[in-house]
Amino acid sequence: MSNQKILEPFRLRSGVELKNRVLMAPMTNFSSDENGVVTDEELAYYERRSAGVGAVITACVYVTKDGKGFPGEFGGDEDELIPSLTRLASTIKGKGAKAILQIFHGGRMAPPNEVPNGQTISASAVAAERDGAKIPKEMTEEDISRIINAFGETTRRAIEAGFDGVEIHGANTYLIQQFFSPHSNRRQDQWGGSIEKRMNFPKAIVEEVLQTVKQYTTDPFIVGYRFSPEEAENPGITFDDTLKLTEVLASYPLDYLHISVQDFWGGSIRDHNDTGSRVVRIQDHIGHKIPIIGVGSLHTPEDVNKALDVVPLIALGRELIIEPDWMKKVETHQTEDIRTTLSKNDQEALVIPTPLWQAIMNTPGWFPVQD
């Protein structure tokens, strides 16, 4: 089977050229220090995975302290962290991949023990549907302006640190998605109510980030946006809502839309009778206007080639943790040597930070682990 399609370069709207069609998906690794500084262990992990892929989308960085979503998440919220971000960008680019920083705010999904005074914030004072979820504080106009501005400031830091782009994290139930969701957003002002008003916060962040790029660099700079197609909650984001959101996002000069799903070919999480792939449906709807990145349970080159018949770009997540040399083995025709499972003795050989390794080992079913 030819892997020529995987190896084809791709030019993004901004003018940045990716050397092939595969990106590393953003994955949290829980391994920064308590001040949000990238550790040597994380740099080694990224260095091991940056050779071969067209771009690396990093784990998310919080844009404000009250947006920290995970223990060991690295930060992008203050200028003191620019040297940390510079080391990360340089490590990725040093291996030949474009470096894209994912920027994020956890909103009501932030662990209270990770944010100042234990106070989470969101569009409305509505708790998430999960055990032990705390009710967040409803954001004021001042909070909203502060967070929008923070996404711009973190973008400026990414530019100063030498990143090739940023990805706005509007997926996986975090703050930007919380404003779009009728579950977490019960407001009746300019930021909520109708679907159009629920889009105002995501739009404001996109506009702020694009304006910041225009202000701080004349070089081509990637800006992407990641979203989840649906929510299981009722009321929650429906697929029709998302199709409307993609139309609005495609009207901006974004480089790509990145769909967050567990399975590229998987159907609806709201209506189990609707088995059509969300990725295929989104590509059919808006792919003629903006490049789509697909993701989800694509393990082998055969899997990726099949998905590239649908979308122009693919992100690989767990596959690059299991097999850091995935792209190298495609390039050198050693695809039969691509590993698809982990053993309990692989941590050192695969250069996986201890907090991430422990999470993998303690979460049955997340990764295919052989005894």
Per-residue confidence (pLDDT) for residue 1, from 0 to 100: 65
pTM (global) more than 0.85? yes
For the chain, domains (ranges, CATH) are 4-370 (3.20.20.70)
Distance, in Å, from the CA atom of 285 to the CA atom of 269, rounded to the nearest integer, reads 19
Residue 219 Cα distances to 149, 254, 354, angstroms: 22, 15, 37
pLDDT band at 370 (very low <50, low <70, confident <90, very high): confident
β strands within 217-307, DSSP E: 222-227, 256-259, 292-294
For 14, what's the count of Cα atoms within 13 Å in the CB-facing half-sphere?
Answer: 21
pLDDT in tens, 14-42: 999 999 999 999 999 999 999 999 999 99
Distance, in Å, from the CA atom of 142 to the CA atom of 10, rounded to the nearest integer, reads 41
Backbone angles phi, psi at 132, to 5 degrees: 75, 10
Which among 356, 280, 365 has a CA at the least distance from the CA of 320?
356
Q: Give me the mean pLDDT over the 110-139 stretch.
A: 96
- What residues pair up with 147 in beta bridges, in sequence order? none
Instruction: Tokens for 125, please give them.
Output: 């004072």
pLDDT band at 254 (very low <50, low <70, confident <90, very high): very high
- Asked whether 52 and 23 are in contact (CB, 8 A), the reply is no
- Asked whether 342 and 20 are in contact (CB, 8 A), the reply is no
Per-residue confidence (pLDDT) for residue 311, from 0 to 100: 98
Q: Which amino acid is at 355?
A: P
Q: What is the dihedral of CA 282, 287, 288, 290, to 10 degrees?
A: 130
Does residue 67 have a pLDDT over 80? yes
Per-residue confidence (pLDDT) for residue 371, from 0 to 100: 74
| Helices 141-160/200-216 angle, 10° precision | 30
In percent, the amount of the chain with pLDDT more than 90 equals 98
Does residue 335 have a pLDDT over 70? yes
Per-residue confidence (pLDDT) for residue 47, from 0 to 100: 98
Per-residue confidence (pLDDT) for residue 173, from 0 to 100: 97
83 preceded by cis ω (within 30°)?
A: no
Q: Classify residue 111 by its DSSP letter.
A: -
In percent, the amount of the chain with pLDDT more than 70 equals 100
- What residues pair up with 342 in beta bridges, in sequence order? 369
- Asked whether 19 and 9 are in contact (CB, 8 A), the reply is yes
Per-residue confidence (pLDDT) for residue 221, from 0 to 100: 98
Distance, in Å, from the CA atom of 308 to the CA atom of 197, rounded to the nearest integer, reads 35
Instruction: Count other C-beta atoms under 10 Å from residue 226's C-beta.
Output: 27
Distance, in Å, from the CA atom of 160 to the CA atom of 177, rounded to the nearest integer, reads 27
Backbone angles phi, psi at 75, to 5 degrees: -105, 155
Distance, in Å, from the CA atom of 88 to the CA atom of 124, rounded to the nearest integer, reads 35
Name the average pLDDT for the chain: 97
Which among 215, 304, 322, 324 has a CA at the least distance from the CA of 7?
304
Distance, in Å, from the CA atom of 324 to the CA atom of 366, rounded to the nearest integer, reads 18
Distance, in Å, from the CA atom of 79 to the CA atom of 86, rounded to the nearest integer, reads 11
